[in-house]
Structure 1
Amino acid sequence: MTPVLELAVQDVAGARIARRAGASRVELCTALGATGGLTPSVGTIEAVAAQGIAVHPLIRCRPGGFVYDADEIAVMARDIRAALGAGASGVVLGALTPDRSVDRSALARLLDGIDVTSVDVTFHRAMDVVDDRATALDTLADAGITRVLTSGGVPRCIDGLNALTAMVAHPCGRIQVMAGGGIRVDDIAAVAGTGVDAIHLSARRTVADSGGPGGGSGGYDAVDETLALAAAAALGI
């Protein structure tokens, strides 16, 4: 089976490009380049959900590691409900214990009252810092999580092909495995060959646009339509 394409986007323009490229869905976030991604605003979720493509907002309240205290979990639980109320069809989340395993208690609190049979739930790249990926996959499958996003525990998927293949084989179809992390268009065929269910990439470029002393000088990221279309073509979309 050919993997589907998921694009990481930060705005309406990115969502429109993803739809034109034939992506099945978008992961919506903010501050992607600077932090790895944080929760987008409700207004952004509403605007992107109106573009005719499935929207899965990232639920991550701060940069850094994935061990969260009770207040942070409570905020992210509220963000999940706000995102779904704003038109999201799924969410992207993750939480770990200090010993680098899946935080089952945090997951239960985040998803309390959420019907995981009707909402897509992706466990994000917190998976890439767990010590035992096989056990983590079993835990997530048992919790009804739809899929995991992973590079196989390395910065770039192309260097984690063996791990990705093993992760696909381990759960025997009980949970989807989506490859994401440093994927270039030239890598897509090899990564798809591991048997993953989806390919995730940002296909982004940096737009130079200084905000001056109070607005930052690093410009901002935007989806590059040429790269997005090339990724789609590499998957035969």
Structure 2
Amino acid sequence: MTALEFAVQDAAGALGARRVGADRVELCAALGGTGGLTPSIGTIEAVVATGIPVHVLIRCRAGGFVYAEADELAVMNADARAAISAGAAGLVIGALTPGHQVDADGLCRVLDGVAVEDIELTFHRGIDQIRDREAALDTLIAAGVTRVLTSGGAATCAAGLDELAAMVGHAAGRIQIMAGGGITVGDIAALHRAGVDAIHLSARRVIADDGGPGGGSTGHEQLDEQLAAAVAAQLAATDLSGHPRA
């Protein structure tokens, strides 16, 4: 069966994901504006308390994934250890070299002191900036990473279907390929045929909420539970249909 993961930013989103039957959530902050940053410890604890497995994004700033400054890696290491102490079942991490390859040393520094044998590790969409993704998969397999989150290097998963299928073939069950990036309900059958192990999306909507001159925006994001339920239903129907995977 294809796993289903939603990116959420609060306990309400996690509860909604749990109600529609998601397997886990990725927890982050500032998703729409930055692509996601590490959430607060209070938020992690509140979402863990909902009972759904929580994978926490470890990302200290917006922008690219080359962390040349040692203090950035140190901050992410502290966040990773704190997230696990708060009950996270997994971490979502990523670091690239200046040449846009997997920064294995940087990942080791982020995970220093973390009992990685007890959790799941997801390498995030930093992999979509890597040209040779098959070589990247080999590096991540050797590093013990559980899965990668990818659109196949394209703007959306629908545009990256061929590459996603190629990554699934190269992975050969050694690492999970989780599709994420611009997924719609209509994309699910094709992603299933491509053989991906999991589907990831935010299914979010913006709630109008003017913060005034110091609030930074005119609204905040929440999981759209109706859309999330439609995704879950379509995925379940596709899995049960027995369509062969490519």
Q: TM-score range by the shorter chain?
A: over 0.9
Deviations 1:115-145 (A, max 9, x none): 3332100000000001210000000000000
Contact 2:54 2:89 in 1 (8 A): yes
- Percent identical pairs in the alignment equals 64
Q: CA deviation at 1:110?
A: 1.3
Contact 1:6 1:198 in 2 (8 A): yes
Q: CA deviation at 1:153?
A: 0.2
Partner SS, residue 171 of structure 2: coil
Partner SS, residue 157 of structure 1: coil
Partner of 2:97: 97
CA RMSD of aligned residues (A): 0.9
Which residues of 2 match residues 68-217 of structure 1 at below 5 A?
68=67, 69-217=69-217
Partner of 2:218: 218
Contact 1:116 1:145 in 2 (8 A): no
Partner of 1:45: 44
Moved more, 168-177 or 114-123: 114-123
Q: CA deviation at 1:112?
A: 2.0
Q: Work out the CA distance in 2 between the residues paired with 1:153 and 1:178.
A: 13
Q: CA deviation at 1:216?
A: 2.3
Q: CA deviation at 1:186?
A: 1.2
Unaligned stretches of 5+ in structure 2?
238-246
Moved more, 166-175 or 107-116: 107-116
Q: Work out the CA distance in 2 between the residues paired with 1:179 and 1:195.
A: 10
Deviations 1:34-62 (A, max 9, x none): 00000000000000000010000100000
Partner of 1:64: 63
Partner SS, residue 26 of structure 1: strand
Partner of 1:30: 29
Q: TM-score, normalised by structure 1?
A: 0.98
* 2:16 counterpart of 1:17: yes
Unaligned stretches of 5+ in structure 1?
none
Contact 2:80 2:114 in 1 (8 A): no
* 2:25 counterpart of 1:4: no
Contact 2:81 2:113 in 1 (8 A): no
Deviations 1:74-131 (A, max 9, x none): 1000000000000101000100000000001101111223333321000000000012
Q: Work out the CA distance in 2 between the residues paired with 1:185 and 1:82.
A: 35
Moved more, 33-42 or 112-121: 112-121
Q: Work out the CA distance in 2 between the residues paired with 1:4 and 1:128.
A: 21
Q: Work out the CA distance in 2 between the residues paired with 1:171 and 1:197.
A: 11
Partner SS, residue 77 of structure 1: helix
Q: Work out the CA distance in 2 between the residues paired with 1:161 and 1:209.
A: 37
Q: Work out the CA distance in 1 between the residues paired with 2:185 and 2:117.
A: 33
Q: Work out the CA distance in 2 between the residues paired with 1:193 and 1:218.
A: 40
Q: TM-score, normalised by structure 2?
A: 0.94
Q: How many residues align?
A: 236
Q: Work out the CA distance in 1 between the residues paired with 2:44 and 2:27.
A: 7
Partner of 2:241: none
Partner SS, residue 235 of structure 1: helix
